[in-house]
Amino acid sequence: MKTTIVLVGYMGAGKSTVAKLLAEKLAMPIVDLDKKIEESAQLSIPDIFAKQGEAAFRKLESQVLQESLQQTGIIATGGGVVLSKTNRDLLKDAWVVFLDCQDDVLVQRIFNDRQNIRPVVQNKTAEQIKEIYQERKPFYNGVASLTINTSSLTVDEVVQQIIQAQQTIGYLGPVNSFSFQALKQVVDHQKVVEFASIPLCIDALLKEKLDFALVPIENSLEGSVHASVDRLYDQKECYVQAEIVLPIYQQLIGYDAKQIKKILSHPQALAQCQKYIEEHFPYAFLEPVQSTTAAVLEIAQRKDKSLAAIAGKQAAKFYQVPILASNIQDNDFNQTRFWILGKKHLDTSRLTTSEQKLTLYITLPKDSPGALHKVLAAFAWRDLNLVKIESRPQKTKLGEYFFIVDLQVNRPHILYQNAIEELEALGCVVQNLGMYPVLHHS
């Protein structure tokens, strides 16, 4: 997250109002540049213009802006801050948000706030105000790191866009992988970063190089994605923010079906199409790669007719490699669960779903007969519905496991907390990955 955010835009764009809420959301101080100028000059801005002229005002504005940029906070600037080349040069190294607005909306806002009208638009007609705005607009765009049209947005929506624009979400790339398709269901304005492998993506999140990470967690045909579930074991820093369930349709992609000798894809995709491969290409060599889309990219680059990939149709279209056979997965109900992981809260208000889950990693006490039965009983007598239980090795020594437990959240939350407390009283180690909304994408 940036330590200094500068808001620019014309009068009526909402800079002061947005700055106030943004500062509150991010727990950062706010700097109203015009007020700071008035404090420095001990004059109101209209009086500075009247007594000292615009040149003196711009000089003072540059001094105050330079001082403010050295501090942490949200800076709400005056509408004419970009008129000075000195100011524009100062803003080049800052993270600047241009609050744009439609001409008619801007004029209406200005005329509705006559008591705070600035000298530059005093006694101006609507058309003259629009003309001034259009003259300044190239300067606003020239310094902007982000532009938001505020015409039809609430203040909350503008603030949310600013916050999201500073967030980064990692995913298993390249572009048009199934992970990328899942990501598009939840990403608004965040910056996306692709990774070559799942462990690299999760490690970047744990090292705070990312704000969030989207990873595949389970497939309906092949079960859990071990690279994801195992990497999350025994860490207490990140939680599941949301789940996206995506239908997976695999395609055979290549140049000539008759010449195929090697098929490339992610191990999960190869396993999902095992029956098709055995029937049509029983002697083909299967080569696992980091992602389905990476397989298509390699074929596109090599243009070797003896190679084929298994991946989604979006990857075939993106890399312009023909689809030789469609929907070759072993089951038409092939779906993959993806988790968005993060250390901080992700706004999931756009996910229109009422379904929620809770995921726990549970390690049983050693040498405790009936421990698993007691764990299940803690959920059963509270009428808490388990939708998944799976054991995974702790990777310490043979015979030591932890359990992955998914629960449907349809009961009062206190019951789930009480169940966790009961498990801990039994001597279990409980890693709570959090409650999260579940979105099914058709």
| Each residue's pLDDT tens digit, 81-114 | 999 899 999 998 889 999 998 988 888 887 776 5
**168-246+336-440 topology per CATH:** Alpha-Beta Plaits (3.30.70)
Homologous superfamily assigned to 255-311? Periplasmic binding protein-like II (3.40.190.10)
Residue 32 marked ligand-binding: no
Give the pLDDT score at 165.
Answer: 83
Rounded to 10 deg, the angle between the 155-165 and 15-26 helix axes is 60
Identify the pLDDT of residue 114: 56
Q: Is 419 annotated as ligand-binding?
A: no
CB count in 10 Å sphere of residue 20? 16
Residue 336 annotated among the catalytic residues of the structure = yes
Q: Distance between CA 313 and CA 327 in Å, rounded? A: 9
Q: What's the confidence (pLDDT) of residue 243?
A: 95
Residue that has been written with the tokens 């006559």 in this structure: 114
- The secondary structure element, H or E, covering residue 216 is strand 212-219
* Annotation says 338 is catalytic: yes
Flag residues of the chain having pLDDT under 70.
1-2, 113-122, 188-189, 349-351, 442
CA atoms within 13 A on the CB side of 240: 28
Please check if 302 is assigned to a binding site.
no
Rounded Cα–Cα distance for residues 440 and 442 (Å): 6
The rounded mean pLDDT for the chain is 89
Q: Does 53 belong to an annotated binding site?
A: no
b/e per residue 201-238 (b: at least 16 CB within 10 A): bbbbbbeeebbbbbbbbbbbbbebbebbbbbbeeeeeb
Model pTM score: 0.71
User: Is 154 assigned a ligand-binding role in the annotation?
Assistant: no
The angle at the Cα of 37, spanning 32 to 39, to the nearest 5 degrees, equals: 95
27 is in an annotated binding site: no
Q: Find the catalytic residue in 77, 150, 293, 336.
A: 336
Domain ranges, ordered by start, for the chain: 4-165, 168-246+336-440, 255-311
14 carries a ligand binding annotation: yes
pLDDT digits (tens, 9 = 90+) for 350-361: 667 789 999 999
Pick the catalytic residue: 57, 139, 318, 338?
338
Consecutive H or E run containing 277 = helix 274-280
Helices within 343-406 (DSSP H only)? 371-380
CATH code of the region 4-165:
3.40.50.300
